[in-house]
Structure 1
Amino acid sequence: MRASFLRLAESVSTKPLNLREASATLYPPIPLYRRLLRSHRYLPREMRVLGDDYVKAEFRRHKDVTNRVHIIGFLSQWKMYLDQMPRDKDAKSFSGKKLDPTVFEKMSSEQLGQLYELMHATKDVWKPISEDS
């Protein structure tokens, strides 16, 4: 990652943000990345594999971004996701939440395409197991 990206991320990690669902601070990219992968430990195996691959791909895709607004948006959205993840092994059932319609309306066609692909990938993970097999 570029040094400017890391410096910017470290500088915003100590400043409070006005986000409704996220905690008051952002993490720098690498600690956030590690925490995200660690939080997937408590998910069922199929969900963990899917989540880990998705996190890795997104961080790889955004490692050369220089737009400060985009970086802060990226880090804050992943921080909000992290805040929703189960914190320990006792979290038996993890259920996501519905996508806010206003967020859906603001998505670009590329983001909608990614969401569509993700929807189809998760359908394969959550196929009901037939008792005949």
Structure 2
Amino acid sequence: MSSVEHVFRVRRLYKLIFRVHRALPPELRIMGDNYARDEFKRHKKCNPEEAKIFLNEWTDYAITLAKQMKPIQQAKKKKVGEYLDPKLLDHMTDEQLVQLYELHKAATEPSTDEQSIPDKK
């Protein structure tokens, strides 16, 4: 693949991810946009082998999320995302594991709206 084709493919995927994120709830959209932006910046100068893996994974992510954001899927399942195969953890670097943990914490901590609502008993 030529350099021009590669750049075009990366830009098209990048824009697609942000377009798909528009269907997410606001707090997930912000987190998803920031994460995608950081990851694409971080991999801007990676080697061709890493670039291929990176683009394949983000393409799979965009396709999966686009399917889940269809109105019919939302009405049926009301779920976003999918579980990570535990076997993949064996192939991650320490830095990736820390990043994954930080992402998990950000995704599971209650939002400020939920914290300010008193419990009704």
User: Is the shorter-chain TM-score for this pair beyond 0.5, marking a shared fold?
Assistant: yes
> In structure 2, what is the Cα distance between the partners aligned to 1:103 and 1:127?
32
Contact 1:9–1:29 under 8 Å retained in 2: yes
CA deviation after TM superposition for structure 1 residue 9, in Å: 2.4
Tell me the distance in 2 between the aligned counterparts of 1:94 and 1:62. 29
Contact 1:32–1:79 (CA under 8 A) maintained in structure 2: yes
Give the structure, 1 or 2, with the largest relative contact order (CA under 8 Å, sep 6 or more). 1
Q: Runs (4+) of structure 1 moved beyond 6 Å? A: none
Specify the code of the residue in structure 2 equivalent to 1:105. D
For 1:86 and 1:125, the matched residues in 2 are separated by 25
3-state SS, counterpart of residue 78 of structure 1: helix
SS in 2 for 1:86: helix
Mark the runs of 5 or more structure 1 residues left unpaired by the alignment.
11-26
Instruction: Provide the residue aligned with 2:118 in structure 1.
Output: 132
Q: 1:36-86 deviations in whole A, cap 9, x for unaligned?
A: 000001110000000000000000111122x11100000001011011113
Identity %: 34
What is the match of residue 94 of structure 1? Answer: 79
State the alpha-carbon separation in 2 of the partners of residues 70 and 8 from structure 1: 17
Tell me the TM-score normalised to structure 1 length.
0.72
How many pairs align?
112
How far apart in 1 are the matches of 2:6 and 2:55? 8
Paired residue secondary structure (2:59): helix
More helix by share: 2
TM-score (norm 2): 0.79
The runs of 5 or more residues in structure 2 that have no matched partner are none
- C-alpha distance in 2 between matches for 1:128 and 1:32: 33
The answer to whether the 8 A contact 2:17-2:62 is kept is: yes
30-39 or 87-96: bigger deviation: 87-96
CA contact (8 A) 1:39 1:85 kept: yes
Question: Which one-letter code corresponds to 1:132 in the other structure?
Answer: P
Matched residue type, 1:53 = N
CA RMSD, Structure 1 to Structure 2 (Å): 2.6
Q: Which residue number corresponds to residue 49 of structure 1?
A: 30
Among 80, 85, 99, the residue aligned to 2:65: 85
Are 2:18 and 2:33, in contact at CA under 8 Å, matched by a contact in 1?
yes
Q: 1: CA distance between counterparts of 2:96 and 2:107?
A: 16
